Structures are given as C-alpha cells and as structure tokens.
Structure 1
Amino acid sequence: MKQWLRQTISILCLMGLLCPAVTLAANKQTASKTTKVLTSIYPLQLIAGLIGQSAHATGAALKVSTLLPAGSTPHDYSLKPSDIRRVLDADIVLWMGPDIEPYLAAIVARVDQQKVIDVSALPGLHRLPLRSLVEEDDEHDHHDEHHHDTDFDPHVWWSVENAEVIVAALHPLIRGVTTSEQGELGAIERLFSEIKEKLAVRKKAAKAQLPSFIVFHDGLQYLEHDIGVSSKARVVLSDDHQPGIRTLLTLKQRVQAESVQCIVAEPMSNLSIIGKIEGDQPLTRVMIDTLGWGSGSYVDMLSAAYDAILHCGTPSTKVN
C-alpha cells in the first residue's frame, strides 16, 4: 500500500499536478509560523533577535526589523506612510512607550494592544534616575534641565538585566515557542547566563583599567552601572541641548579637579565643545553609539562598548 502511494505521488509530481500544491502548502505553513516583530529603535531589534538563540524557539521563524533607518534617531525622524503600514502590519510592536517616543503614540494606539509591548512599562524593568550634568553640585545654575518626559533614564537597553526582562516579555508571543512557563524561564535564564559569561572578561577589564572619565551625552548610565563605574560629569543631557558658558566653566573645573583623562562621545557629538572643557592635557576620546548602529548582535554591541571604554586609558593628542 505504501509503495503504491509513493508511486502515485511520484507520477502526479511528474505530471505537475501535486508537487506545486504540496510546495505551496508548505510555504504557507512556514509563512504562518513566521512572527514579524517591528521595533522602534535598533537596540530593541538586537534584543529581540536573542529569541532565536533560545533552545525553546526551535521551529519558530522570527523576522525582526527596526522602524528607523540606519543612523537616524527618534528625536529627528518624521514618519512616512510606509512606516505607518509597517507598524499596522506587524505581528508584534516593541517600542519604548508614549512618553519616550511620543511621535509613535497615535499610530501604535491603532494597533491591537495585545500585540504591543511598551518596554518602559514592563514589570521588573530596572530604572535608573535621571542625572544632572555635574553631580554633587548645589548651585542650580549648573544643573541644566532634563530633556526627557520620564522620571527615569530611558536608555534601559544598556542593562543586560533589562534585556532579559524584555526577552521574557516577548518570548511567549513568538509563534512556535513553547507555552510552558517553566520551559520559557529556563531557556531565557540559560541564554542570559551565556551572555553574561561571554561579557564577564571584557567587563572586568573595563572596570579595572578605566580612568576618571566623563560622557558627552548621558546615554550610558546603565552601561556604567553594569560595569560598576560612574562618569564624573556629562556635557549634555540630550541630543538637542548645548551647554552654556557657566556650564562649560563648571565642567572644565570638574575635569581638572577629578583628573579626568577620557571623554566618551557619540559619532554625532559636537566635538568642538570638548576643547572648551579640557585643560593642557588633552582628553582621550572614544566613541560609543548609544543606539548601537552597526552592531550585528546585542552581545556585539555590548562587547564593542566595553572595548571602546578600554581605550579610555590610551593617551590622546589634542584636536583643535
């Protein structure tokens, strides 16, 4: 009977009657298992991509993309009609929430909220408070206003613990992933145990070798917290803010008082400002993109940041 069935299928395939239908059905089945995840920013795409490394995601097809084009930021981006279609067509929308990304709020409100994950509202998320430019400064004139609409630092993706919280929230929504709560938690724990192990050596080296430093834009507080260090000051609190003369003077005094040797900036930072706060000894300048553009994975993003911080101990020449 089985031999006859195989022969019949072979004949029908040769006649072009059955195989195309079988192939089409298989393709439809694969497509139906594919979960399209749209993230608002690139670091969330890297974190969502960790799902594919989970042992319990076997057989689950995941397509993760970022709404913003490479190199752009939520602060200066205008939505296009095609962007709106992508938000509405996604199986899951992973974003930072209406307070952090107000430009997306009206569109995300049109999506079935069962398919939406607001990272800023996740239970268990570690939230660090917003910082001033210069800590322990009692004079209000030197404390520029914060330019975020939240009461916590929104750059939560730099914390490995927060990445684990995000993956745990996303994991059950992916088609093909086990629905066993115990199985999910076990897979996530194993995944992040491996991640922490991979990063442990770099983290230890960064903490041991990092000299006194400041950051240009206050977007790396969670990274500092993970390593166990703290910047002595911040030059700007947001991308659209420039420090005044009094602030620059205070920063220069802090650089001298704390023997600051290094400044961590971003590719888009206005580096001309650095010359106004450094003394005769030039500050070593290292670059870390807070949105992780160019990183191939979440671990790559963190590894590159740790490696960049290690360069803070490398002497620099002054650039005018």
Structure 2
Amino acid sequence: MFKYNLIKNFILFFFSISLSINFVQAKVLTSVKPLGFITAAIADGVTDTDILLPDGASPHTYSLKPSDLIKIKSADLIIWVGDDMEAFLPNFLKSIDNSKQLELAANPNIKALLRAGHSHEEESDEHDHDEHSSDDHHHEHHHGQFDMHIWLSPQIARAAAQSIHDKLVVIYPDKASLLDENLSKFTSKLKDTEQIIAKKLNSVQNKGYFVFHDGYGYFESEFNLNHLGSFTVNPAIQPGVKKIYEIQSELSHKNAVCVFKEPQFSPAIINKLVDGTRVKVGEIDPLGMDIELSTDAYCKFLLKIAQQFLNCLE
C-alpha cells in the first residue's frame, strides 16, 4: 500500500509539473473573448492571445479554476475590464505585478466614454431578496455606477486597442513598428465595419424590442436602436414577479417586435411572456462564442450582433 501511494503521488506530482510547463508560454491573456478579439488584432505577429473564460461561461457568474490560476500567473499581460465586471478576478490579481495587468475601465480615455449603469439599489428593487442566495447578491452588487460591457462600443474598442497597443510596446519594444501597423489596420477595419452596420440597421431603428440582459447600451446608442426595456441588469438573477408583470404590460402597450435572450442565459420565462402575442424571440450573443480569434474577429463579432438584431426586428 505504501509503495502504491508513493507511485501515485509521484505520478500526480509529475502531471502537475507537466501541466504547469504546458501553460507557461509567453502570451497575453484576456478575461473575456471580445477583449481577445481586439487583442488578437493588435498582437498579431507579436505574441499569442489567450482567453480566460471558456465559451458558454459568463463574467457575471464565473469562478476561477486551478488551471486558470496557472494561466494568469504565467501570462506576460492580463487584460480585463474592471472589478464591476469580472468580480472573480480582483482578489487574485493582488498577487500579480501591476506591470502585468491592464484594467481597461481604469484608463482615463475609456473612463470618459463610460455610460451610466443601473445602481445596486435599482437592481435590488426589481427582485425579491429572499429568492436569491448570498452569492447572487454578491454578483448583483457589481452592476452599479457604469455599464461595463465596454466591448460592445466600437468607440471604446478603439480606445482599448490604443491602450493595449501602448502596453504591448512597453513589453515588446522591438515589435513597436509591427504594433503600430496592427493598430492602424484595426482602426481602419473598424471604421468600415461601423459604416456597414449603420446601413444594415437603418431600416429597423424604429422597431421596438426588449432584452433579457441590459448590457447592449453602447451598441444600441451607437446605431440608434429602439430599446424599450430589459428584464434584468444582472442575467444571473431572474426578474421578480413585479418586474414580470411590468414587462407583460409593456409588451402589449409599446408594440414590441422582439424579445432577445442570450445563449449564456436562456430563461424559459421569455417564452411564457410572449406566449399568445405576436412578439418574436431572438437571440444575441454578447461574447462571440462561435467566432475564432483572428485579426478581423472583432469586426466579425460586431457584424454578427448587427445581423442578430436584424433577423428578429425585420
């Protein structure tokens, strides 16, 4: 038995060392995939880009795994939004050198572009507190002063790309000219993409709709979409009875064309709300689950969201 345990422990130790070695690569790590889209364009030919959250996971509810901690510790740079979005990150990042972190929401140029969000008190009023766990309230608290879904703003994406570029120039000074070129290509493609999307969505700007998760304000404002309301600020928390009644009334009185859900959160309550009405149910993916990292991934991501709006509103 002793010999068996000794061999077993040796194998586990060898496996853990091998796992660590496999993860120790010079790369940039982003918290969510859309930030990875922007980073992959700027870092192209300079370093690899990796994503922390797997497809299907949400930054609102994610918990770090041991393999995630290895990734974070071995990264040359960790790019994230801020603690009002990735509530699971700040405590761990305290042990990581500041020079290896880039908190985008703390950048003055991005901070100046942030939209006001719902307050914690407003969110609390929409739900019955006794229906939720203490963990839900923890996530609920992190949706307050500003809307942190910054990757849905082409304007903020430009500022983020500049910030990522500047940070990478410091880390890889010998690649400065390539980083300059990548930034120029990204901003040019993004400008063209915005024009394409504006033309696409022009015909549906007057069509009203509801979203399950109130996280599309930047995109809606940029392209003048007719957002009538949302079910919840935090998709990890189901709307309360009072909120459901309000939505049912608004669906009938405001002539909504569509209600949008998300692949990360597809509550059955949406189908019940539209039952017996002419309101369609659409789906928007705010994290680009099926889009691969590439130099034009961010533009593909925005175009897909535009098409998802169009498919339901037309």
Q: Normalised by the shorter chain, which TM-score bucket?
A: 0.7 to 0.9
Aligned partner (choices 69, 85, 102) of residue 87 of structure 2: 102
Please show how residues 24-103 of structure 1 align to structure 2 within 5 Å: 36-52=27-43, 60-103=45-88
Please show how residues 13-28 of structure 1 align to structure 2 within 5 Å: none
Say if 1:159 and 1:226, in contact at 8 Å, map to a contact too. Answer: yes
2:150 corresponds to which letter in structure 1? V
Aligned partner (choices 105, 124, 127) of residue 114 of structure 2: 127
Deviation track 1:148-203 (CA, whole Å, cap 9, x = no partner) reads 344101101100111111111111332243279xx94x863553132221341232
2:204 corresponds to which letter in structure 1? Q
Equivalent residue, structure 2, for 1:144:
126
Equivalent residue, structure 2, for 1:10:
none
Equivalent residue, structure 1, for 2:308:
308
Question: What are structure 1's unaligned runs of at least 5 residues?
Answer: 1-33, 54-59, 133-139, 315-320
Say if 2:262 and 2:286, in contact at 8 Å, map to a contact too. Answer: yes
Deviation at 1:243, TM superposition (A): 1.5
Q: TM-score, normalised by structure 2?
A: 0.76
Say if 1:141 and 1:246, in contact at 8 Å, map to a contact too. Answer: no
Equivalent residue, structure 1, for 2:11:
none
Aligned partner (choices 163, 167, 170) of residue 173 of structure 1: 167
**Alpha-carbon spacing, 1:201–1:97, altered in 2? closer, same or farther (3 Å):** closer
Equivalent residue, structure 2, for 1:197:
192
User: C-alpha distance in 2, partners of 1:149/1:213?
Assistant: 22
Say if 1:99 and 1:149, in contact at 8 Å, map to a contact too. Answer: yes
Higher helix share: 2
Please show how residues 106-255 of structure 1 align to structure 2 within 5 Å: 106-125=91-110, 126-131=113-118, 144=126, 147-174=141-168, 175=172, 176-178=174-176, 184=180, 188=183, 191-210=186-205, 211-255=207-251
User: C-alpha distance in 2, partners of 1:279/1:47?
Assistant: 39
User: C-alpha distance in 2, partners of 1:177/1:150?
Assistant: 39
> Paired residues, what number?
265
2:107 corresponds to which letter in structure 1? L
Structure 1 window deviating more from structure 2 (303-312 vs 149-158): it is 149-158
**Alpha-carbon spacing, 1:97–1:141, altered in 2? closer, same or farther (3 Å):** closer
Deviation track 1:16-41 (CA, whole Å, cap 9, x = no partner) reads xxxxxxxxxxxxxxxxxx95101111
User: C-alpha distance in 2, partners of 1:94/1:203?
Assistant: 29
Deviation track 1:229-282 (CA, whole Å, cap 9, x = no partner) reads 241010121122112222111111111221001112101334421244336433
Say if 2:214 and 2:232, in contact at 8 Å, map to a contact too. Answer: yes
Deviation at 1:48, TM superposition (A): 0.5
User: C-alpha distance in 2, partners of 1:206/1:286?
Assistant: 15
SS at match of 1:161: helix
Say if 2:123 and 2:233, in contact at 8 Å, map to a contact too. Answer: no
Aligned partner (choices 267, 274, 299) of residue 270 of structure 2: 274
**If you compute each CA radius of gyration, which structure gives the higher value, 1 or 2?**
1
Say if 1:38 and 1:90, in contact at 8 Å, map to a contact too. Answer: yes
Structure 1 window deviating more from structure 2 (261-270 vs 163-172): it is 261-270
User: Relative contact order (alpha carbons < 8 A, sep ≥ 6): 1 or 2 greater?
Assistant: 2
Q: TM-score, normalised by structure 1?
A: 0.74
User: C-alpha distance in 1, partners of 2:123/2:75?
Assistant: 46
User: C-alpha distance in 2, partners of 1:200/1:143?
Assistant: 39
Percent identity among equivalent residues?
26
